[in-house]
Each structure stands twice: as C-alpha cells, then as structure tokens.
Homo-oligomer: A and B are copies of this chain.
Amino acid sequence: MPSSTGLRARVRAKLIAEIKDQARRQLADEGAPGISLRAITRSMGMASSAIYRYFPSRDDLLTALIIDAYDSLGEATEATDAACRRDDFGARWTAVGHAIRGWAQAHPHEYGLVYGSPVPGYRAPQDTIGPASRVTLVLAGIVTEASASGALSPPPYPLPPLSTPATAEARRLVEAAFPGVADETALRAVVAWTQLFGMVTFELFGHLEGVIADRSPVFERALLEMGVFVGLPLPGAVNTATIEQEDSERYLI
C-alpha cells in the first residue's frame, strides 16, 4: 500500500505536524522572530539539516503557520455561524464576534502572527489569501443574507450622501462580497468589521490595560451596537413570517 496514504506519507505528515507544533510552541514563548529551525530540530532530537526535507526554508514554515492560523480561525468562525438559527441574523453576528474573540484569546500568538505587525522581510504568498478571507466572508455572508431576506433596517438617522469615490468603493465591495446590499450598508459592514478586529487587537496587545478592566461586557455591548449600526436586528428578534414555517415555540415572546 504505497500512494499518498502509504506508511511513508503518513510518517511524513506526522513529522510535519510535529515540526509545526514545536514552531507554535516557540512562537508562544519568543514570538515570531524567535522561531528557530535549529531549536525545532533540537527539540525533536534530529539533525538541524533534517528539517529541510520538510520545509525548504524558514519562510515556508512561517507561511504554513500563517495558513494554519487563518484556517483555524476561519473554521471556528464558520462552525459557530453554522450552529446558529439561519434567520436570527443578530444572534449570528454576535455569536461570530464572540467566536473570533474567543479564538484570539485561545491562540494569542497565532493571532499576533497574522494580525500583528507584519514580519519584516516576509512577503505573504498568494496561498494565504484564501484562508485569510474565510472569517471575513462569514461576516459578509450574515449581512448579505439578512439583506436578501429583508431583515436589514435602513440607517435610522440621516447622514450626508456618500462621496463619489466612496460610492465607487462601495460598489466594488457590493460586487465582491455583498451582492444585493445597499452601498451605505456595505461600507458600514466594513466599519463594523474593522471595529471588531480593532477591539480584539487592542485587548490582546494590551491597549485596554488601565482603560477597561472588565472587557467581556464592553465587547458584548460593542457587538450589539455595531450589529444594529449595520442594520441587523437584535439577537433573538426573528422575522415572524419565517418563524411560522418552522418551530415557533421558543421564539414567541
């Protein structure tokens, strides 16, 4: 039994996994610049040159860690969204926000690796783009589906109309990730997206130290505010028409 599931291939996969695990351990201890190929091989009891059978260079190992991190976050986010009632858009938004923050707190150094200062001299290859956008697409999907099902409220207060270049950008966004969504709403979704990651980043990188002591309720409130800001209904506020087609018990007030 050779092929890609053969013994050799399985051993190889195991070793690659172990190398990445050791690298993640070093990432946690010393940060990205502290990841050392020699230290990895040392901890695995192999010659320092042996690692080149698995990763052609240090940068390739870094890339693998980055892709893994994005995929891990993307997967957690997608799973959280998938576990929500489809038409409870407010609840989906809130749940996904908590999932992102939860993942960041559970994997602070991997979060720093992808959302922190770019590693100098390292240029992310194309392969990272797909994994990187998974989490973003989940957020965009919630807004888009809410819009399609008519659950989105229009902005409750008047704002000046979009400038011409802002409209152009909004159009691009709508076409790329928010089909059928209003220009203003797409831009607001971007604002909410940056707020969400901005707050998680500030919390993780220590910029809320001395500013906010009990961060969970503040984060919770921010999620609620930004959800409403985008036009999403409050969590639990499900469109009655939809309810009647499904189980109705627990959603009737």
Contacts and interface: CB of A to CB of B under 8 A. Distances in A.
Interface of A: 29-34, 112-113, 115-121, 124, 129, 132, 136, 156-157, 159-160, 162-163, 165-166, 168-169, 172-173, 176, 187-188, 190-191, 194-199, 201-202, 205-207, 210-214, 216-218, 220-222, 224-226, 228-229, 234
Contacts of A169: 212-214, 217-218
Q: Report how many copies the assembly holds.
A: 2
Nearest to A34: B120
A229 B68 CA distance: 36
Given A116-B205, A205-B117, A217 B166 contact: yes
B172 A213 contact: yes
Given A121-B30, A166-B220, A197-B198, A226 B116 contact: no
Contact of A166 (B33, B190, B221): B221
Contacts of A115: 205, 207
